[in-house]
Structure 1
Amino acid sequence: MNREVIDGVPVLWAEAPGPLEAVLMVGCGVRDETLRTAGVTHLVEHLAMSTLPRLHHEHNASVDLATTQFTCSGRPEQVTAFLAAVCEALADLPLDRIDREAGVLAAEEGRVADPVTAELLSGRYGVQGPGLAAYTGPGADRIPVEAVRDTVSRHFHRGNAVLLLTGPPPAGLRLPLPDGVRPDRTAAPEVLLPGPAWWQEDLPGLGLTLRGDLDDPALLLAFTVLSERLRRTVRHEHGLSYDVGGDNVFTGPGSGERTVCLDARDGQEQRVAELLWQEVLKVARDGVTDAELADEVEGLREALLDPRAVLGGLGEAAGALLFDDVFQEAEPRLAALGETTPEEVRAAFAAALETVLVVVPCGVELDVRLPDGRPLPKHSCIVGRELPAGAQVFRPSLTDRLLSSAARRVRLGVDAHGVWLRGPDGEVHGVPFAEVVGVEMRGPGRVVFGRSTCSVPVLPDFFAGIGPAVAAIDAAVPAALRYPASAFRPAD
């Protein structure tokens, strides 16, 4: 790998077969947003790309949890022109196009993680940082222009960018990004649910995540062995699943999430969940074999040393540079993997199980135990069975109460500290005002969203006489967190 600096931007390059490929990576992604500004990074990317003329070579742009990437391949002069145009656009975004590009975003409905991984991240971190992967936010048409300006100013500059090339920089390459200071990345995202825990969600699959050091070779090997065992058992032996996947989510130097996600044949979700935990316990209790480790190391060797993986390796080095992490070349990584013993793999996985989070589809019950015999606890955001003493209480309309026994049990409570909802089952959920991350205004009603993933509907369709409740919410929640419902979404 070679390193240069052009116009204040680090340039990492290495020779690779094929046409010249380029990736301008900016250290800004979904995790840098809030619920109120969700989608702003994607909007910035669209605004920049909208300025480009029609091009006859491959080019694209994308946003993930941590970065925004502008990519192209072609002749050196095409790459040079593309990068210059993108940088010039980021220095002077066409803000007059926000409404049109917001409509395009709404049509695109992009995601930065598969639904199961996104739900696991939301469970761990709440509606903030990596947990925002599960949320679309107020809607693309409700992103404030001030948020666009602020995001560009804080993130899209030469101090927070790295260029990757699969060949030496072309003559005349310029990267005219504005000046700026790279954001401080030393603070790790706040963990709301350390684990271990499980819960149900309306999802097309199931999975688990463990929190740990993504550079730990023992934990990496534990996950590759677990995934292969699940593929062999759940798919090939039982025919219950097609896809066994997963992700590695970097959350800060020395920390991240490793996920395993599975789909399930209709009606077989319960059995797939049981098989998943069965294989988890086998790795934690019995470990892995020398043959399994040798096979996984060989597979990783093929992947890391493949000439087509040059750009991926450069991307890892760029991520380490942007986020103050340590980058390790392929050969030292492979050496460390080859020296890892089966007992080290078992011990690392068993220790990481203290952080395990498991999500399963609604209707699946997970009655399982950890390796030491403790039950895996079910997570819930229930705060009790009684509304806070002194809260002003609202009920459904008299008509609804006459027609529905469930409506007769439901209550809404509002006090100086937050809003609370008692459901038909008698369980109380709530959002303290200090933890509000957004309030959607639906005509005379409100929907209050909390950092811990709870939300409370304060709507005239559900409760009668909610005027005082709405007034209390508007008085307690800053105006910057309140927004009208998106015109791109149905009212229900």
Structure 2
Amino acid sequence: MHHSHVDGVPVLRSLRSGPLHAILRFGVGARDETYRTRGVTRLVAAFAAHETRGRLPETGEPVVSIGVDETRFTVSGTPQEVADILRTLCRALGEPPPDRPDERAYRCDDEAAVSLPPLAAGALNARYGAQATGLLGQECAGCRPPTPDMLRTHAATWFTRANAVLTLTGPEPVGLRLPLPPGERPRRSAPEARYPRASWTHRTIEGVAVSVESPAGSAAVAVAHRIVRERMTAALARRSASAAPAEAATVPHDTDTHVRLLFTPATTDDAEEVAATVWSEALRLARIEPAQDEVDRHCRGPESAGAQPCTLDAAARTELFGTPRLVGGVTPGDVRDAWQRAMAGAQLVVPDGLLLDLAGPDGRRLWCRSCWTWDELPPWGEAFHEPLVKRAFRRAGERHWTVLTPDSVVTCRTGVYHALRFDDVVALERRGPERVLIGRCGCDIGIDPAWYRSGRRLIRALDAAVPAELAFEGAEGGRSHEERPPHA
């Protein structure tokens, strides 16, 4: 592998016969967006690719792909074609998008979207809420596309020579230039899991998922991940011949940490049994060492110790993120100990309405975590109730009201409430007179002033309490909270 720099951008090249294959990579992806700027990364990339196609209609075009943490532009062709496309693409990335972009640029990015199974995305949302990788599973209340100012800010922050690396496979192009704008290496702070210890919680998903955090450079936990997946699949098959196999995914969290996920579909009728089976297999490896032959078999996986060559992809990720290579020397005891540490903060995610009674890694009852509080009085504050006429025709269990405190808005139902601190609001959608508050926890609270007496005063108080930069007008066709109680 040959390492050099062009215009301040690291270039990694592997010599191979055939057409030149180039990938221009940027260390930015879906985890670097916010609720309001969702989709901004792929739009910036799509605009640049659109401009490149327009300026070089006779050559190939860059293929855009957006990941959780990385954006790639892939180009193939003769050395001269690749050099021309890369030079034009870099210039396009350094130019601000127009205030009125070509609508075709909005449509050319459909295939560039981040692809993650819904169960995995739901588990990430349960773990981190409406931020970073948790956004991948966040239901959108109806955001408009990011504004041109958002596109410009995002491009200037992330699509710079300080956050790029180019990998080449094939002959070196003559006269290669990468005129990207200057910038500083972006700094990101990954959010902590919402709950620090092992727990279970609900999400609107059609299955069961388990997530754990683990060191990015641990071969032992990588082997454990594959062993648990295989065992889960076997246990589910013993329970039902038609059971779907367990699936696995690994998502980067920060430089030193990965989130490892295991998930499987389940119906409403069998979700409880599936959850018990999945959790039991995850716990078993944390308590009992696997057999040596089982470890040896899974050590031959693509990310195991000694099985990950110094590929262009691995080297590029090291350049972008400082990602450590997997540390080897895996024994059955290492696998159990690594998985045991990971399981101390594991989270089991099940469909809404399910109640579980399972043991945690410490042998005590597994902790249930929810944004809702049951069987306690809501915080004291100004209460906004439904008009007397509506209350008279509702059953007690169907009534709902809102309490406004100096630092939070509290959605109440009979016997349960949800408190959302204004400090934890990540977005406020305005849809006519209605408001939808999106919390960092991943919940959304919809409020229509028509629901309550003095409802307009409640709306004015919410508008005043939430910072103006977090508010936006909802897109046409977005969902409405009309005639249904607030939910989270």
Determine the C-alpha separation between the residues in 2 that align with 1:106 and 1:415: 43
Map Cα deviations across residues 258-285 of structure 1 (whole Å, 9 max, x no partner): 1112123674322222221221122112
Structure 1 equivalent of residue 486 of structure 2: none
Structure 2 equivalent of residue 83 of structure 1: 86
Structure 1 equivalent of residue 174 of structure 2: 171
2:200 to 194, 198, 201: 198
- State the percentage of identical aligned residues: 32
Query: Residue 367 of structure 2 aligns to a residue in which SS?
Result: coil
| CA RMSD of superposed structures (Å) | 2.8
Map Cα deviations across residues 174-213 of structure 1 (whole Å, 9 max, x no partner): 211111111124x443332223111122212221111120
1:135 to 130, 134, 138: 138
8 Å CA contact 2:129, 2:194 repeated in 1: yes
**Bigger mean CA deviation after superposition, 51-60 or 200-209:** 51-60
Code of the residue aligned with 2:469 in structure 1: it is A
Residues 139 and 40 (structure 1), Cα distance of their counterparts in 2 relative to 1, 3 Å cut = farther
Determine the C-alpha separation between the residues in 1 that align with 2:316 and 2:42: 20
Correspondence 1:464-475 to 2 at 5 A:
464-475=453-464
Code of the residue aligned with 2:162 in structure 1: it is G
Per-residue deviation at 1:444? 0.9
Matched, 1:208 2:198: no
**Bigger mean CA deviation after superposition, 459-468 or 473-482:** 459-468
Structure 2 equivalent of residue 25 of structure 1: 25
Residues 226 and 190 (structure 1), Cα distance of their counterparts in 2 relative to 1, 3 Å cut = closer
8 Å CA contact 2:279, 2:348 repeated in 1: no
8 Å CA contact 1:396, 1:407 repeated in 2: no
Structure 2 equivalent of residue 352 of structure 1: 342
Residues 363 and 414 (structure 1), Cα distance of their counterparts in 2 relative to 1, 3 Å cut = closer
Residues 344 and 29 (structure 1), Cα distance of their counterparts in 2 relative to 1, 3 Å cut = same
Per-residue deviation at 1:107? 7.2
Query: Residue 411 of structure 2 aligns to a residue in which SS?
Result: strand
Correspondence 1:181-330 to 2 at 5 A:
181-185=184-188, 187-235=189-237, 238-264=240-266, 267-300=269-302, 313-326=311-324, 328=325
Map Cα deviations across residues 423-452 of structure 1 (whole Å, 9 max, x no partner): 24x211021112211111011121111212
8 Å CA contact 1:141, 1:486 repeated in 2: yes
Query: Residue 92 of structure 1 aligns to a residue in which SS?
Result: coil
Per-residue deviation at 1:58? 7.0
Map Cα deviations across residues 189-248 of structure 1 (whole Å, 9 max, x no partner): 333222311112221222111112021111111111111122233247733433422222
Code of the residue aligned with 2:121 in structure 1: it is A
Map Cα deviations across residues 139-172 of structure 1 (whole Å, 9 max, x no partner): 5634232211111111111111111122243112
Residues 304 and 232 (structure 1), Cα distance of their counterparts in 2 relative to 1, 3 Å cut = farther
Structure 1 equivalent of residue 44 of structure 2: 44
Code of the residue aligned with 1:256 in structure 2: it is H
Correspondence 1:112-131 to 2 at 5 A:
112-131=115-134
Determine the C-alpha separation between the residues in 2 that align with 1:75 and 1:139: 44
8 Å CA contact 2:216, 2:323 repeated in 1: no
8 Å CA contact 1:103, 1:140 repeated in 2: no
8 Å CA contact 1:29, 1:68 repeated in 2: yes
8 Å CA contact 2:223, 2:304 repeated in 1: no
**Bigger mean CA deviation after superposition, 73-82 or 103-112:** 103-112
Structure 2 equivalent of residue 481 of structure 1: 470
Determine the C-alpha separation between the residues in 2 that align with 1:325 and 1:171: 31
**Bigger mean CA deviation after superposition, 93-102 or 162-171:** 93-102
Structure 2 equivalent of residue 423 of structure 1: 413
**Bigger mean CA deviation after superposition, 220-229 or 247-256:** 247-256
Code of the residue aligned with 1:319 in structure 2: it is R
If the length of structure 2 is used for normalisation, what is the TM-score? 0.89
Map Cα deviations across residues 390-412 of structure 1 (whole Å, 9 max, x no partner): x2211223443233215763111
8 Å CA contact 2:143, 2:474 repeated in 1: no
Code of the residue aligned with 1:90 in structure 2: it is L
Determine the C-alpha separation between the residues in 1 that align with 2:452 and 2:290: 56
2:165 to 162, 166, 186: 162
Query: Residue 50 of structure 1 aligns to a residue in which SS?
Result: helix
**Bigger mean CA deviation after superposition, 290-299 or 140-149:** 140-149
Residues 15 and 370 (structure 1), Cα distance of their counterparts in 2 relative to 1, 3 Å cut = farther
8 Å CA contact 1:47, 1:93 repeated in 2: no
2:379 to 379, 382, 388: 388
Determine the C-alpha separation between the residues in 1 that align with 2:269 and 2:439: 33
Residues 371 and 28 (structure 1), Cα distance of their counterparts in 2 relative to 1, 3 Å cut = closer
Query: Residue 221 of structure 2 aligns to a residue in which SS?
Result: helix
8 Å CA contact 2:42, 2:112 repeated in 1: no
Structure 2 equivalent of residue 446 of structure 1: 435
Determine the C-alpha separation between the residues in 2 that align with 1:346 and 1:123: 26
Determine the C-alpha separation between the residues in 2 that align with 1:249 and 1:113: 10
Gaps of 5+ in 2: 482-488
Code of the residue aligned with 1:477 in structure 2: it is V
Residues 460 and 396 (structure 1), Cα distance of their counterparts in 2 relative to 1, 3 Å cut = same
Query: Residue 89 of structure 1 aligns to a residue in which SS?
Result: helix
Per-residue deviation at 1:129? 2.0
Determine the C-alpha separation between the residues in 2 that align with 1:303 and 1:83: 35
8 Å CA contact 1:8, 1:159 repeated in 2: yes
